[in-house]
Amino acid sequence: MSSPDSHLEPGLTEEHARTLAQEAGFTEAGLVALPHVEEARDSERFDQWVEAGRAGTMRYLSRQNDQGQRVRARVGVPFPWARSAIVCLASYHSAQPRSTEPADRSAGWIARYAWSSRVHPDGVRRPSDYHKVLLKRLKEMNSRLHEQYGEFESRAYVDTGPVVERALATAAGLGWTAKNTCLIHPKIGSYAFLGVLLTSLAAQEAKALTLPDRCGSCRRCLDACPTNALFAPYQMDATKCISYLTIEHRGSISADLMQGMGRQVFGCDICQDVCPWNRKAPISADDELEARAELVNPVLEGLALLDERAFAEKFNGSPVRRAGFLGLRRNIAIAMGNSGERQFAARLRAWAVAADEGLRSAAAWALEKLEEK
């Protein structure tokens, strides 16, 4: 094992970090020295967002340490040793239709990112969880860095650690934070996962500065959001976001929000699907994140027929498992009510007496909606 100063220049370079990431399977990557120049601004914005109650029931976002510091606000709070972050991007864009395109009224919608799958060694295609896929790649990068630099502190995260990946990605020059609060890469668009490798290695001055905001006067994402979660440019209230409601939120959902949820049964792509920057985004060639065709515009009745065992079998290893069996059923009931299709009435009547309050209230609301037709 070579030492840091044996044959390499001290500190990570952006070119080296990008090469490592792409060799590991990522689409793109950037490097940022910590703390980055906009950290104080980003920390203040995060604190304000949490304190305004925009995080809903996601209490892990507001967690504080013993000194009363919000853990996710600054990388240096949980990781005082961190001197650099390699931020990696993996595109999941596919050639399938978008949620905003015409579809059968009896079809639901599962967010594009949750379609991922890969072919296993036995030749069978099965769901792939992007968390595990990308974390494996980050760990591979980390191992290679240790081979070259010796011992150093490091942590790898994909949506699961006390870091705000989007803020670090912006600081690393991978894109800008759009009006829909997603990261937009100028060539790849916003259909992309982010992974972060934090290290105690110093970072040489990166060549690229943060990219300018290129949203301009466009407000298509704000106008398209059916629940007004995007209540102002660059401002998102998670408690109204369909992705939050269908995945993170447990229990009943207010009637006005159910009305706006449309046919979304897991997550939501609307604000990305209407974004002009995604019109010409290249299709991903990532064979570990290929789309499962059966999850595109899935038939609501087919999803409703799943019992708990079938739900587990169909979505084992998939992000959809996070919604939970009853959570998905609740979402299906809402989509059935918004469909206007009276064929769903019998099933909704059965669900309207369910023990689970969230499913029961959603089914009762959906029945009332169908009776209005």
Encode pLDDT of 360-369 as tens digits.
999 999 999 9
Cα separation of 30 and 19, whole Å?
Answer: 10
Would you state the pLDDT for residue 44?
Answer: 93
| pLDDT band, very low/low/confident/very high, at 373 (cuts 50, 70, 90) | low
Cα separation of 314 and 43, whole Å?
Answer: 40
Do 91 and 266 form a contact (C-beta atoms < 8 A)?
no
Catalytic residues: 159
Q: What is the pLDDT of residues 83-127, one digit of tens each?
A: 999 999 999 999 999 999 999 999 999 999 999 999 888 988 889
Tell me whether residue 329 is in a domain.
no
Would you state the pLDDT for residue 240?
Answer: 98
Tell me whether residue 58 is in a domain.
yes
Across 142-149, average pLDDT:
96
Tell me whether residue 332 is in a domain.
no
Would you state the pLDDT for residue 231?
Answer: 97
Q: What is the pLDDT of residues 270-295, one digit of tens each?
A: 999 999 999 989 999 899 999 999 99
Tell me whether residue 175 is in a domain.
yes
| pLDDT band, very low/low/confident/very high, at 209 (cuts 50, 70, 90) | low
| pLDDT band, very low/low/confident/very high, at 1 (cuts 50, 70, 90) | very low
Would you state the pLDDT for residue 206?
Answer: 54
Tell me whether residue 139 is in a domain.
yes
Across 320-326, average pLDDT:
97
Across 154-175, average pLDDT:
95
Tell me whether residue 147 is in a domain.
yes
Query: Nearest Cα to 166, choosing from 65, 301, 49, 288?
Result: 49
| pLDDT band, very low/low/confident/very high, at 205 (cuts 50, 70, 90) | low
Q: Is the pLDDT of residue 2 over 50?
A: no
The structural domain count of the chain equals 1
Cα separation of 68 and 142, whole Å?
Answer: 31
Lowest mean pLDDT segment, chosen from 65-74, 78-87, 329-338: 65-74
Q: Is the pLDDT of residue 356 over 60?
A: yes
Would you state the pLDDT for residue 204?
Answer: 84
Residue 268 corresponds to which amino acid?
C
DSSP per residue over 85-120, as a string?
Answer: EEEEEEE---SSPPTTS---TTB-EE-GGGGEEEE-
Across 173-177, average pLDDT:
96
Would you state the pLDDT for residue 4?
Answer: 41
Query: Nearest Cα to 297, choosing from 106, 143, 65?
Result: 106
Would you state the pLDDT for residue 246?
Answer: 98
Query: Nearest Cα to 129, choosing from 97, 158, 164?
Result: 158
Helices of type H across the chain:
14-24, 39-51, 130-149, 165-171, 220-224, 242-243, 255-260, 270-273, 300-304, 308-315, 325-339, 345-351, 357-372
Tell me whether residue 75 is in a domain.
yes
Do 343 and 312 form a contact (C-beta atoms < 8 A)?
no
Domain hosting residue 153, numbered range: 14-96+115-199
**How many angstroms from the chain centroid is the CA of residue 245?**
14
Beta bridge partners of 189: 185
Q: Give helix 325-339 / helix 308-315 axis angle, nearest 10°.
A: 90
| pLDDT band, very low/low/confident/very high, at 8 (cuts 50, 70, 90) | very low
Greatest mean pLDDT among 6-10, 39-43, 353-357 lies in: 353-357
| pLDDT band, very low/low/confident/very high, at 5 (cuts 50, 70, 90) | very low
